[in-house]
Amino acid sequence: MNILIFGAKGQVGMALILAAQNNNISSSVYPIGHAECDITNSEAVEKILKEYRSKLGRCMIVNAAGWTQVDDAEERVKETFETNWRGPLHLAQSAEKYGHDLIQLSTDYVFDGMQESPYTEESPVNPLSIYGLSKEAGERAVRASCNRHIILRTSWIFSLYGKSFIRKIIELAEKKDELTVVTDQIGSPTSASDLADAILRISSTCQNDFFQGWGTYHYAGAPSASWYEVACFVMTELSKHNLKSAKVIPATSADFKMKAPRPAKSILSCNKIYRQFSIQESDWKAAIRKEIKSIAAEKHD
């Protein structure tokens, strides 16, 4: 199966390119960065999907492009919806028109975080923020416009590339002795590398003409934790490798004046993806250990 990655220079896009290299399938993966295609431009999207149809036949389109600045989204509503709603709409319409399949990345921010138990794919959505609303609108656009779609909701993505909470606290720990981190947001950190492997597995399974499992799935890390617990784990791992760490001070969301409200507890149940694709939750502690080990190897070289 040939795979076209939109938003190829972002965290997930880069992880997909690396995962393809590790699986020796780079020659069937086509990265398309923001500069090559702005997904808000319907003509640009259609041109690319049409070209690839005539060149390669049916492809898997992975939409890893998105407006991901959650706080900025509160003020830049139009740009956020253009990228997170109109962009997926264009991709879905052109994928349907040219006979491609589509994987659309979505988020736990479509939920309000008030549910005690893990959210399943059937749980009612109720986004709290502009980012969450725009991603939920993107999901609906994909469902309405492209039959062969997978909507993959995930959460708290981290990697050595791009911007992530974990990357940020590792950098901050180098400069500061104390970090203040919230205890009242609970979720599931997800390794971008594990997510990329899951996307490749889904793409490979979906290429079967008899595949019937199109729809919405959750994929995230386990076990769930608060940002505070994640930060403490990161600091312990840094110390084990004689890297500079910082003391983690517990705080609540009210102590930070963030523009966008976040779900307080958004744990994604990953049973459905296991049943359909035999994909297991990402082990975020193992992934963080591995990433810190590679940072230490670089530093101590």
Which chain residues interact with ligand NAP by CB under 6 A? 6-7, 9-12, 34, 38-40, 64-68, 83, 87, 105, 107, 135, 154-157, 162
Note whether 39 and 63 are within 8 A (CB): yes
C-beta closer to ligand NAP: residue 21 or 208: 21
Please report how close the Cβ of residue 187 comes to ligand NAP at its closest, in angstroms.
Answer: 9
Smallest distance from the beta carbon of 112 to ligand NAP, in angstroms? 16
Token pair for 250: 């517990």
Give 33 or 244: the residue with its C-beta nearer to ligand NAP.
33
Helix (H) or strand (E) holding 49: helix 42-56
Q: For residue 235, what is the enclosing H or E element?
A: helix 227-240
Residue nearest to ligand NAP (CB): 10
Residue 91 CA to residue 100 CA, distance in Å, equals 10
Q: Residues 52, 98, 109, 131: which is the catalytic one? A: 131
Beta bridge pairs of residue 195: none
Strands 225-226 and 186-187: antiparallel
CB of 65 to ligand NAP, least distance (A): 3
Nearer to ligand NAP, 75 or 178 (CB): 75
b/e for 180-218, b at 16 or more Cβ within 10 A? ebbebbbbbbbbbbbbbbbbbbbbebbeeeeeeebebbb
Nearest CB to ligand NAP, comparing residues 110 and 238: 110
Q: Is 219 a catalytic residue?
A: no
Q: State in angstroms the smallest separation of the CB of 64 from ligand NAP.
A: 5
Residue closer to ligand NAP by CB (options 38, 283) is 38
The sign of the torsion formed by the CA atoms of 207, 209, 215, 219 equals negative
Q: Left, alpha or beta for 107 (phi > 0: left; psi -120 to 50: alpha)?
A: beta
What minimum distance in Å lies between the beta carbon of 300 and ligand NAP? 28
**Which residues are the active-site residues?**
131
